[in-house]
Structure 1
Amino acid sequence: MAKVQEFFNEQKDQSEVKAKIVSKYFDAWCNVMLGNRRQYGRINKLAYIDLFAGPGRYDDGSKSTPIMVLENAIKNKELSELLVAMFNDKDEDNIKSLRNAIDELEGFSKLKNKPIILCSEIDKDAEEMFVSANMCPTFSFVDPFGYKDLSAKFITAIIKDWGCDCVFFFNYGRINAGISNPMVAKHMDALFGSKRAERMRDFVREKSSGEREVYILEELAGALKELGARYVLPFRFKKQDGSRTSHALVFVTKNIRGYEIMKDIMARESSTLDQGVPSFTYSPADAATPLLFSLARPLEALGDDLVRKFAGRTLTMKEVYDSHHVDTPYLPKNYKSALVELEAAGRIQADPPAKSRKAGTFADKTLVTFPKLAS
């Protein structure tokens, strides 16, 4: 219980970033869903599910995600009539505090559907319920480590239906320690799949902490994609001294538009940029000392990869971006910058050429010809 309470007491910078990412995506997701409803008229309910809801407000008085989500709904008349919110936490004190915080919300009566508030532990029965349920468009925020037997199957079950996306809290520090711990082998098998987890145990034994971190997040993404998640996007949080990752928010969706929206949100919350490329990491140490941040020069790496991948082809800038950006940290502006540099170096040809465009620009429709690689 102490560790759970630490999570909610830490608000200040890191938890504030988490809440902002989730609430900003909820707001953008609602706008997309409501726009779809106005155009096609087939949506009569939207849902928000938070299975690790917490106390409503942190010790410093700042708002947690459930309060921010409900405030968004109260401000939007259309959303206030459609939203069904479900908040769960296994801690009775958190639930009591959450109820009080919700009751004190200004304009709470504008919500047509009062939030469903539960105090329970999510287990295999709940997983099977989500597997079999036909869900309305739903955005979910869950904690996969804090609940008994929660698995990758659970995460993919809650995004299986149209309009369903999920963000979950991934406690990297505990997972890293748990991979090789036989006491929690069953949990690791549930999260990653038994064959994958066994392979991971063999791999991590002799790897450095940095190698383990990248590997574990890649394997998590692989496990989710095998079960039907098309797009997986992690945002890492480092310890106060910047030494290593403590946990991550992981976004999972089947929709490329949702992926692009969340990618933009996470990019803006990144504590550092390298050549305009976001780190998709919040690190208090990096934010305090930006001159010490990575000198990896990622735009050069992007340019080199584009030249290899698209050798001998002619595409628009937008086609290059669409074909390449998934599972990378790069944004549209990064592709444009990389292509401008490649053109200046004579490594590609563009139509219209640089002399016919405004300096430093590269429009979505600009054609790019990549030369064939020398054999």
Structure 2
Amino acid sequence: MPPRTTCWDLEPHTSAKHLILRRYLQAWLPIMTRWNGRVLYIDGFAGPGIYRTGEEGSPIIALKEAIHHTAQIRSQVVFLFIEADPARLEVLKQQIATLQVPSNFKVQCLLGRFDEHLTQVLDFVKEQKRNLAPTFAFVDPFGFSHTPFSLIKRLMQNDKCEVLITFMYEAINRFLSHPDQPANYDSLFGCQDWREASSVEDPQARKKFVHDLYLRQLQVSAAVTYVRSFEMIDPGNRTEYFLFFGTKSYDAVKKMKEAMWKADESGRFQFADTTDMNQSLLFGTTPDFNDLKSRIVSKFRGSQVTVDDVERFVVIETPYRETHFKQQVLKLMESATPPELRIITRTGQNRRGTFPSGTVIEVL
């Protein structure tokens, strides 16, 4: 349930989400501003920018990451902070006023709903026959209202757009059978297929159905090239929410995975990569290299493939990172007795235990 006060206590699961956001922006900002003269950051449910006991909210986190970034950002960065509550928006403005915002940063605090303001932005871009600037949209509602799938789809039709969506599964599941919600759910999912979920009695099967439907809508209906999902698990081992990350950039997937693995190094939170609910993985402080090896062998046994193909498989089809498989898996497979992989051609200096780009291996 949304808080009724202007400021409220920071929940642990929100703190975890903010840590992921911070980590990702540290990577996203220098990359996007290096190659683009103007970029756009949207916080669709900005809030007051501060919690009751002084912790920073997501708008202030984003601004500070840009202001203090070691890359010394020179491109124009436009921040759109959207908030429906007038009192919260006023507090946010007060928080922003305490910062020394560079002249190449443009900050707009907009009163109103996320869907209404983003529609106006996209309509304006269309009317002007322009392209939307490279955009990162943080869509972080308390529940599931005013986040129509049609708008997410429309946003992602633009090049160089990325979204990080909080999908409030606990609230969505609670109201699946409520007679007042069908229109809201039709809008949220962009289809009526969700209605089948109410007849799924097993809780885990229902969760998988709902999760997979939204994932499929992003992949198929919105044609998002790469979609990853991450589950936030509360201390009672219940699903608080899913984070869905959508992008057209392979490198962005790598940076988001880096953010997720680094965020979990603290051990304070439980995340799971749930892109494939049949092979979900609970993040830990150390990757499960035996599991990764099993996945690689299952995919490539008997095949000759490049190391680059293995990397793409690891990044796109597993929860692991591109830094997790060469020294920790392939090197041990090469030196095993008997060997578990064979080098067909090795680029570079042909040193045993190294796997430069272009190297061809056979998984035995």
Q: How many residues align?
A: 339
Q: Which moved more, 1:179-188 or 1:46-55?
A: 179-188
Which amino acid in structure 2 is aligned with residue 338 of structure 1? V
Structure 1 position 318 matched with structure 2 position 308: yes
Paired with 1:112 and 1:257, the residues of 2 have a C-alpha distance of 26
Q: Show structure 2 runs of 5+ residues with no match.
A: 275-281
SS in 1 for 2:51: coil
Farther off after superposition, 341-350 or 224-233: 341-350
Q: Quote the residue 1:11 is aligned against.
A: 10
Corresponding residue of 1:284 = none
1:304 deviates by 3.5
Q: Secondary structure at the match of 1:115?
A: strand
2: CA distance, partners of 1:136 / 1:79:
16
The one of 189, 193, 196 equivalent to 1:192 is 189
Relative distance call for 1:32 and 1:112 in structure 2 (3 A) is closer
| Aligned match for 1:309, one of 299, 302, 322 | 299
Tell me the SS of whatever aligns to 2:180: helix
Question: 1:1-375 maps to which residues of 2 (within 5 A)?
Answer: 3-4=2-3, 9-11=8-10, 13-36=12-35, 43-75=36-68, 79=73, 82-105=76-99, 107-108=100-101, 110-123=102-115, 126-127=118-119, 130=122, 133=126, 134-143=131-140, 146=143, 148-202=145-199, 205-207=200-202, 209-226=203-220, 227-239=222-234, 241-270=235-264, 279-280=272-273, 299-336=289-326, 337-343=328-334, 344=336, 346-350=339-343, 357=352, 364-371=357-364
Q: Following the alignment from structure 1 to structure 2, what is the Cα–Cα distance between the partners of residues 154 and 65?
A: 22
With normalisation by structure 2, the TM-score equals: 0.80
Higher RCO structure (Cα 8 Å, ≥6 apart): 2
Cα shift readout 1:77-98 (whole Å, capped 9, x = no counterpart): 9636501111111111211110
Letter in 2 for 1:369: E
- Residue 51 of structure 1: how far off its partner (Å): 1.0
Give distance in 2, aligned partners of 1:222 and 1:215. 10
RMSD, aligned CA = 3.3
Question: Residues of 2 paired with 1:331 and 1:7: CA distance?
Answer: 39
Q: Give the number of the structure whose residues are more often helix, by fraction.
A: 1
Contact kept in structure 1, 2:273 and 2:283, CA below 8 Å: no
Relative to 1, partners in 2 of residues 1:10 and 1:216: Cα closer, same or farther, differing over 3 Å? farther
TM-aligned CA deviation for residue 129 of structure 1: 5.2
Shift of 1:250: 1.9
Distance 1:184 1:195, change over 3 A: closer
- Deviation of 1:314 after TM superposition, in Å, equals 1.2
- Report how far residue 351 of structure 1 moved: 5.4
**Per-residue CA distance 1:203-260 (angstroms, 9 max, x = gap):** xx222x3333333222211111111111112222222x23211113221111111111
Structure 1, unmatched stretches of 5+, are 37-42, 282-291
- Match of 2:158, as an amino acid? D
